[in-house]
């Protein structure tokens, strides 16, 4: 029988064709074999190396197999109630998604129609831009100003077809943040005309005194949406669970675009347990990050590198040589960092704060790699 001929290409919209598929990194076992290392320090994804709070880990361990055969709660009922109680909002103000990544898509779908655009920074978490563009909406990108979101630049890029402004607070990867005063001033200027998303994926890591809790501003600014996630501080990245909080009238609209059953049962139950864990895990994680950041800032500066470090569990450093080359060399030593050239920071790397031994391995090997590639030192050695 002849094969049916299909012109698949002609069925694909141009805005999808323009888009290159994302190439995720290989699983750890494949990477270890490829680079020939027995251990791998993962410092590429801002995960919490302390894992999840013990009670959440217990939920995962004890998840009853028969529950795997039953659909999860379609609206994460218990988790929404628990979040509402913790955040002092009403459950109707919360939507849980398959990672914060999914709630980004919900908001874009709810507000953008053909010809609309979103506004965000050029060097920030790339998913806002990607989701907008492969959905057929323009992403208007505003250059960072001193590594930070530029309030006036954002306002200048808004036009008649703008629907949503995405602010990453603190910004991944630069760690810069808007103070409460700056955020309020921006929201006052927006004056309710557009949706403002504040992505607080690193909220639980933030220790700066003037760092604002966006959720407390929702009552005054009903056009504000706040994103949070269980992937970073709560160490549940593999279960994929995040959420948004907004005013009841806004969330009611976004709820129309929600994909039912996208959040699995283990994730919902582990997240409830994580929220109710005593403060031990959070403070231990914050201590580890504070110490690790100080260590990294010192060591990287001693290597003569420009370092950008702020809130969040990561720092960036600018290399005098190719980030891709350094990545390969570090991987051979079992150290995995994030190359940033693809994120418009040519030859920068981003390093997630981890255990002392991981950070020491990272800076020690990085130092050697830089030394070996330094042409002057190469000559000295003859």
Ligand X SMILES: *Cc1c(COP(=O)(O)O)cnc(C)c1O
Give the binding site for ligand X (CB under 6 A).
Answer: 46, 99-101, 125, 168, 172, 199, 201, 229, 231-232, 237, 242
d(CA 367, CA 299): 9
Q: How far is the CB of 381 from ligand X (least distance, A)?
A: 41
Task: Output 101 or 311, the one with its CB closest to ligand X.
Answer: 101
Helices (H), 158-222: 180-190
d(CA 6, CA 3): 9
Residue nearest to ligand X as judged by C-beta position = 99
Going by DSSP bridges, is the β-strand pair 117-121/138-142 parallel, antiparallel, or unpaired?
parallel
Q: How far is the CB of 128 from ligand X (least distance, A)?
A: 9
Task: Output 163 or 338, the one with its CB closest to ligand X.
Answer: 338
Q: How far is the CB of 172 from ligand X (least distance, A)?
A: 4
Length of the chain: 382
- Residue 8, sorted as left (phi over 0), alpha (psi -120 to 50) or beta, turns out to be alpha
How crowded is the C-beta side of 321, counted as CA atoms within 13 Å?
A: 16
Task: Output 199 or 299, the one with its CB closest to ligand X.
Answer: 199
Q: How far is the CB of 123 from ligand X (least distance, A)?
A: 12
Q: How far is the CB of 241 from ligand X (least distance, A)?
A: 7
Q: How far is CA 178 from the centre of its chain?
A: 17
d(CA 22, CA 27): 15
Task: Output 226 or 330, the one with its CB closest to ligand X.
Answer: 226
Q: How far is the CB of 243 from ligand X (least distance, A)?
A: 9
139 within 8 A of 120, measured Cβ to Cβ = yes
Task: Output 59 or 361, the one with its CB closest to ligand X.
Answer: 59
Task: Output 125 or 348, the one with its CB closest to ligand X.
Answer: 125
276 within 8 A of 82, measured Cβ to Cβ = yes
Cis peptide leading into 153, omega within 30 of 0? Answer: no
């Amino acid at each position: 029988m002849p094969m049916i001929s299909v012109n698949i290409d002609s069925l694909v919209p141009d805005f999808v064709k323009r888009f290159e598929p994302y190439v995720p990194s290989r699983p750890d076992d494949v990477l270890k074999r490829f680079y020939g290392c027995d251990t791998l320090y993962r410092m590429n994804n801002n995960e919490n190396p302390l894992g999840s709070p013990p009670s959440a880990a217990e939920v995962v361990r004890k998840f009853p197999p028969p529950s795997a055969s039953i659909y999860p709660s379609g609206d994460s009922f218990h988790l929404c109630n628990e979040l509402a109680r913790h955040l002092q909002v009403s459950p109707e103000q919360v939507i849980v998604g398959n990672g914060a990544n999914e709630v980004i898509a919900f908001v874009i779908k709810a507000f953008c129609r053909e010809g609309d655009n979103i506004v965000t920074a050029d060097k920030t978490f790339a998913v806002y831009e990607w989701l907008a563009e492969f959905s057929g909406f323009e992403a208007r990108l505003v250059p960072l100003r001193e590594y930070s979101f530029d309030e006036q630049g954002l306002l200048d890029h808004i036009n008649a077809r703008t629907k949503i402004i995405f602010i990453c607070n603190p910004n991944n990867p630069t760690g810069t943040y808007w103070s409460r005063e700056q955020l309020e001033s921006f929201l006052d200027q927006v004056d309710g005309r557009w949706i403002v998303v504040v992505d607080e994926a690193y909220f639980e890591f933030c220790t700066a005194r003037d760092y604002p809790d966006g959720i407390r501003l929702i009552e005054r600014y009903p056009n504000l949406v706040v994103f949070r996630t269980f992937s970073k501080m709560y160490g549940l990245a593999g279960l994929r669970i995040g959420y948004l909080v907004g005013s009841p009238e806004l969330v009611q609209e976004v709820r129309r675009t929600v994909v039912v059953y996208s959040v699995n049962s283990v994730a919902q139950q582990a997240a409830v347990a994580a929220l109710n864990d005593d403060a031990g895990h959070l403070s231990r994680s914050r201590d580890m990050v504070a110490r690790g950041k100080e260590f990294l800032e010192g060591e990287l500066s001693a290597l003569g590198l420009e370092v950008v470090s702020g809130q969040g569990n990561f720092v960036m450093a600018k290399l005098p040589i190719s980030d891709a080359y350094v990545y390969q060399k570090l991987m051979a030593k079992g150290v995995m960092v994030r190359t940033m050239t693809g994120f418009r920071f040519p030859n920068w790397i981003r390093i997630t704060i981890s255990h002392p031994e991981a950070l020491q391995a990272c800076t020690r090997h990085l130092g050697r790699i830089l030394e070996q590639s330094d042409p002057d030192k190469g000559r000295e050695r003859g």
